[in-house]
């Protein structure tokens, strides 16, 4: 039976690091899914050099919305034609955020954010589950933002709250089947997330954690059966505080104390 790993959002940041770490597992194929073919090809070449026995497949495509489930479903069905197929690990890492107030940040962009962060993740998970069995693993990239409503980051925080709660509910449902599910909930990580979220206004976040360290911690937590991965003590404290102060209060505070520069604010 062919054993595979699927990583979405594999062209940058934590997606690249997940691919690097998971390429060390004893599987037959590693599938890298993202929009930017040049980056996927570069990563695939790197991984083939490190593990010549591993087949690397790339899919340069936009997986936003329900179509993401259809795309992955078609790839799985085709791959399963010549014998059985077993998904060892599914990493739902694709996603993005949008800085700025909901009423000025651009409705279409924020709806696309929901389609990728929520709809595609759900569709791909549902499509992949029939190919999973005892020992399979699902890693869903959520965020520290999942623990509170956030002013100036309203849609992103809401989408990641969905990912966190969906992951925990799914973990409970799949426990008897021996399928592990974990939600990765990082704070600031040194990736291109901020540049995308600000539409180029902010190049990087200050004091971002190395993505490789965040990924390794997540995989360690997964191996120990944890359901949520939060790497640093500071992040754990921030995740807890909304329970004490209340989510609305936290939303108000973050709107004024955690300013996120956005293109929409500059253009006002």
Q: How far apart are CA 116 and CA 141, in angstroms?
A: 12
| 163 neighbors 141 (Cβ within 8 angstroms) | yes
Q: How far apart are CA 195 and CA 199, in angstroms?
A: 6
Residues 6+ apart with CB under 8 A from 99: 105, 152, 153, 197, 198, 199, 201, 202, 260, 261, 262
Q: How far apart are CA 14 and CA 92, in angstroms?
A: 11
CB count in 10 Å sphere of residue 181 = 23
Tell me, rounded to whole angstroms, the distance of Cα 78 from its chain centroid.
25
CB count in 10 Å sphere of residue 111 = 13
| 144 neighbors 161 (Cβ within 8 angstroms) | no
Residues tagged active-site: 156
SS3 65: coil
| 140 neighbors 121 (Cβ within 8 angstroms) | yes
| Vertex 227: Cα angle to 193 and 186 (nearest 5) | 20
Token look-up 């997606």 returns 15
């Amino acid at each position: 039976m062919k054993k595979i790993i699927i990583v979405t959002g594999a062209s940058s940041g934590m997606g690249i690091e997940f691919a690097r770490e998971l390429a060390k597992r004893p599987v037959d194929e590693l599938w890298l899914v993202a929009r930017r073919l040049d980056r996927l090809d570069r990563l695939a070449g790197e991984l083939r050099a490190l593990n010549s026995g591993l087949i690397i497949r790339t899919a340069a495509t936009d997986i936003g919305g329900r179509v993401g489930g259809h795309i992955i479903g078609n790839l799985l069905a085709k791959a399963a034609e010549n014998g059985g197929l077993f998904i060892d690990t599914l990493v739902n890492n694709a996603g993005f955020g949008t800085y700025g107030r909901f009423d000025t940040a651009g409705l279409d962009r924020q709806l696309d954010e929901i389609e990728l962060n929520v709809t595609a993740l759900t569709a791909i998970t549902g499509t992949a589950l029939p190919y999973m069995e005892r020992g399979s693993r699902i890693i869903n990239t959520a965020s520290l933002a999942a623990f509170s409503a956030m002013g100036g980051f309203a849609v992103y925080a809401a989408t990641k709250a969905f990912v966190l709660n969906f992951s925990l509910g799914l973990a409970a449902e799949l426990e008897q089947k021996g399928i592990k599910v974990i939600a990765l909930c990082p704070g600031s990580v040194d990736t291109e997330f901020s540049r995308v979220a600000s539409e180029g206004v902010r190049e990087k976040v200050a004091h971002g954690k190395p993505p490789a360290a965040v990924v390794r911690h997540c995989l360690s937590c997964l191996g120990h059966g944890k359901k949520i991965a939060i790497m640093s003590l500071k992040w754990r404290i921030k995740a807890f505080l909304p329970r004490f102060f209340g989510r609305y209060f936290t939303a108000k505070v973050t709107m004024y104390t955690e300013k996120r520069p956005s293109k929409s604010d500059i253009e006002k």
